[in-house]
Amino acid sequence: MKRPLVRKLSLTAALLAGALVGTLGVSCASAPEGTTSATLMLDWVPNTNHTGIFVALEKGYFADEGLTVEIIQPGEVYPEAAVAGGAADFGISFQESVTLAQAEGAPIVSIAAVLQHNTSGLASLAAKGVTGPADFEGLRYGAWGGPAEIPTLEALMECSGADISKVELVTTGFSDPLALLAQGQIDLASIYYGWQGIQAEQMGIDLDVVMMEDYFDCVPDFYTPVVISSEATIADEPEMVKAFLSALSRGYTFAAENPDEAADVLMRAAPELDGTLVEESQRWLSPYYLAEAPRWGEQEESVWRDYSAWLVEHGVAAALVAPEDAFTNRFLP
């Protein structure tokens, strides 16, 4: 599922986040005796990016690790600011967001990759006949506002010998890109195929999708989403971080190996979701939880290094972020 606008995390927002815990709706109910309480803030409403979390909850994997975990959704502040400011112990974020926040000095660290590869793409109605970025010329692109969004579009087109000045940029904000495409208000939109691509199939909207994974030579692969924590939590409560990731690893590994049962778990946790969409999305997305990685959550230094350099090269980030500052694998089981 596409997340709302990826923000450059200001240090002011990070520092204020701790004071906004009431606004976020985080309850501080005491954990059962002998357990440790922790909070995890999602990036958006529950979806198949989050299935392993709800599997770990329902199957008692957190409890096995001595944890009582509360799941919260973003409110007045978002996961990066909430985690940096101490209002949440963990959050779901994105490599882009972590890199930009780190470049501003925010003390957040990626501790696990939820998916091993970028599953987004640029979608258009099949009737447009788009086969690659060279065909984007003359189209209207629905821009939702991410800092790397237009540089990514430009890089894809330049790689294909096309000119982004021949694309009309239409500001759409958080509007549903599938509806805008179907209604003819835009011709091209960024989507996450594992959710919106599957949704389009079920709605009978015939799309062509230029997948980012086919153009990693133009725009480097990056982890989306990731699990984050703060430098303070990592330093002060390393055993809690290790226990949390041990449970999450079990949850996502189960979801990778049992997509249908995992989809049922997500539906019990979020019954407002469309069951058919969840089932098909889970089957499509589950292989990305591990892909070729030796274990769930594994992150590679080259992915962080290359994408940070790309963000600087294209004017999105002001400074390079050292991979060792941005992520760690040391708490993975």
Whether 97 and 129 share a structural domain: no
> pLDDT per residue over 49-68, tens digit each?
999 999 999 999 999 999 99
Query: Does 71 lie in the same domain as 34?
Result: yes
Q: In terms of domains, do 77 and 30 share one?
A: yes
246 and 208 within one domain: no
Average pLDDT of the chain?
Answer: 91
198 and 291 belong to one structural domain:
no
- Same domain? For 17 and 159 the reply is no
Q: Is residue 4 part of a domain?
A: no
Q: Give me the number of domains the chain comprises.
A: 2
Quick: pLDDT tens for 212-257. 999 999 999 999 999 999 999 999 999 999 999 999 999 999 999 9
At 244, which CATH number?
3.40.190.10
What was the pLDDT predicted at 7? 31
Structural domain includes residue 99? yes
Q: What is the pLDDT of residue 16?
A: 34
Which pLDDT belongs to residue 278? Answer: 98
Task: Please indicate, yes or no, whether residues 206 and 235 belong to a single structural domain of this protein.
Answer: no
Does pLDDT of 75 surpass 50?
yes
Q: Taking 70 as the threshold, does the pLDDT of residue 8 lie above it?
A: no
Residue 333 belongs to a domain: no
Q: 87 and 233: one domain?
A: yes
Q: Would residue 35 count as lying in a domain?
A: yes
One domain for residues 61 and 188: no
Q: Write out pLDDT tens, residues 80-113.
A: 999 999 999 999 999 999 999 999 999 999 999 9
Residue 70 neighbours by CB under 8 Å, 6+ apart: 26, 27, 29, 37, 38, 39, 40
Q: Render pLDDT for 276-308 as a digit per residue (tens, 0 to 9).
A: 999 999 999 999 999 999 999 999 999 999 999
In a domain, 3, yes or no: no
pLDDT digits (tens, 9 = 90+) for 186-221: 999 999 999 999 999 999 999 999 999 999 999 999
Query: 309: closest CA among 227, 219, 226?
Result: 219
List, for residues 27-36, the tens digit of each pLDDT value. Answer: 334 456 678 9
Clarify whether residues 113 and 240 are in a common domain: yes
Residue pair 241/229 in contact by the 8 Å Cβ criterion: yes
Tokens of 282: 């889970």
Q: Which of 156, 185, 214 is the last residue of a domain?
A: 214
Same domain assignment for residues 53 and 192: no
Answer yes or no: is 332 within a domain.
Answer: no
Buried b or exposed e, range 14-25, using 16+ CB within 10 angstroms: beebeebbeebe
Instruction: Specify if 331 maps to a domain.
Output: no
**Which residue range forms the structural domain that includes residue 130?**
120-214
In the predicted model, what is the mean pLDDT of residues 246-274?
Answer: 98
Global pTM value: 0.90
Q: Would you say residue 308 lies in a domain?
A: yes
- Tracing tokens 């990305």 back to the chain, one arrives at 288
Retrieve residue 5's tokens. Answer: 């606008």
Here the tokens at position 132 are: 């690659």
Cβ proximity of 65 and 117 under 8 Å: no
Which conformational region is residue 10 in: left (phi greater than 0), alpha (psi within -120 to 50 degrees), or beta? beta
Q: Please give the pLDDT value at position 173.
A: 86
Domain boundary among 197, 214, 231: 214
Residue 131 pLDDT? 96
Q: What is the pLDDT of residues 144-188, one digit of tens each?
A: 888 999 999 999 999 999 999 999 999 998 799 999 999 999 999
> Could you tell me if 62 and 178 lie in one domain?
no
Helix, coil or strand: residue 119: coil
Question: Would you state the pLDDT for residue 32?
Answer: 63
Last residue of a domain, one of 196, 214, 232: 214
